[in-house]
Amino acid sequence: MRGIIAIAITLVLSASGAMAAEVRVAVTTSFRDSGLSDVLLPAIAADTGLDVQLLVVGTGQALRIAAAGDVDAVLVHSRAAEEAFVAAGHGRHRRAIMFNDFVLIGPRDDPAGIGNATGVVDALARIAGAGATFVSRGDDSGTHKAELGLWEVAGIIPHGDWYREVGAGMGTAQNTASGLDAYLLSDRASWLNFRNPGTLALLFAGDPLLANHYTYIPVDPARHGHVDAAAAARLEDWLTSDAARVLIDGYRIGGEQVFIFDAVARPSVRSGSATP
């Protein structure tokens, strides 16, 4: 009898405790623009009682404000920046959540002919060679860093009238590319969710180099004592749980799966990684 009452009290207390929590997470624009956040947040609230407040900014800004201790966690997609962040002591660890892929979109008539390129390196070389207009995020975001990494692998320094850096989020960059009839590196989910494609089309995808990994990093309470580490941990648990897997793998845009859940059971060691 006493046991049952104790359990009941515990349930009541933990439920009310759960209802109260707010957790602030800085996330990348692509996470929001893909529409996935609209699916996950209500489920998180229902399952954990957490009120997730999303600050949608580029990866660079997300890590910057997390380093200032203004948010409890980040969800970003730029490995080098993430590792630096954790190494500097701002984040506890990196936790892989999911990945999607980048795609090259461009004008439907494909003047640079990347539709039958042999790989992303070849595609970029064709764009640079043809001097076809290319819109770059230019905002130090995860997508931007990935793009720069790809140019580097291709051995090209992108420079010239044809290379337009807009310094803005994914949606704005897509708008600009649409308006300029330009090529653009986007993530598949944001592209599929974009409502103003104009004459743009998805022209190239599938190269392994285009994989785009999203990582969750809770801010280290040892460094910023006021962050809600418990709530951040609960969110992390949910994001790596089966419930998340079902929603993330099941998320479709126009019938296509766009994200692949790849979290593992245990968090990775500080600055090490379970992500490729």
Partner 1 sequence: MNDLWAGLVEAGRLLVTFDADLLEITFRSLRVTLTALALASLIAFPLAALLAVRRFRLRRTVIALLNALMGLPPVVVGLIVYILLSRSGPFGVLVLLFTPTAMIIAQVVIIVPLVASIAHQSLRDLWSEYHDLLISMNATPRQRIAAILWDSRRALLTAALAGFGRAIGEVGAIMIVGGNIDHATRVLTTAIALETGRGDFAMALGLGFVLIALAVVVNLSIHWLGRTEVEARW
Please report whether residue 143 would count as binding partner 1 according to CB under 8 A.
no
Binding residues for partner 1, rule CB under 8 A, total 28
Interface residue with partner 1 among 21, 24, 120, 164 (CB under 8 A) is 24
Which residues from 223-242 bind partner 1, rule CB under 8 A? 224, 226
Among positions 65, 180, 209, 233, the unique one binding partner 1 when judged by CB under 8 A: 65
The residue from 18, 54, 209, 274 that contacts partner 1 (CB under 8 A) is 54
Nearer to partner 1, 13 or 108 (CB): 108
Q: Which stretch binds partner 1 (CB under 8 A): 65-73, 77-85, 128-136, 159-167?
A: 65-73
Whichever of 57 and 125 has its CB closer to partner 1, that residue is 57
Among 27, 28, 29, 188, binds partner 1 (CB under 8 A): 29
Closest CA to 28 of 2, 50, 60: 60
Q: By rule CB under 8 A, what string of x and - marks binding of each residue 157-186 to partner 1?
A: -----------xxxxx-xx--x--------
User: Rounded to the nearest whole angstrom, what is the least distance from the CB of residue 91 to partner 1 in the complex?
Assistant: 15
Residues 84, 91 contacting (CB under 8 angstroms): no
Determine whether 173 is exposed, middle or buried from the number of CB atoms within 10 Å of its CB (0-12, 13-18, 19+). buried
Among 193, 212, 215, 240, binds partner 1 (CB under 8 A): 193
Instruction: Select the span of 61-69, 92-100, 151-159, 210-218 touching partner 1 (CB under 8 A).
Output: 61-69
Judged on CB neighbours under 10 Å (0-12, 13-18, 19+), 92 is buried
- Applying CB under 8 A, the residues found at the interface with partner 1 are 24, 29, 33, 53-57, 65, 67-70, 168-172, 174-175, 178, 193-197, 224, 226
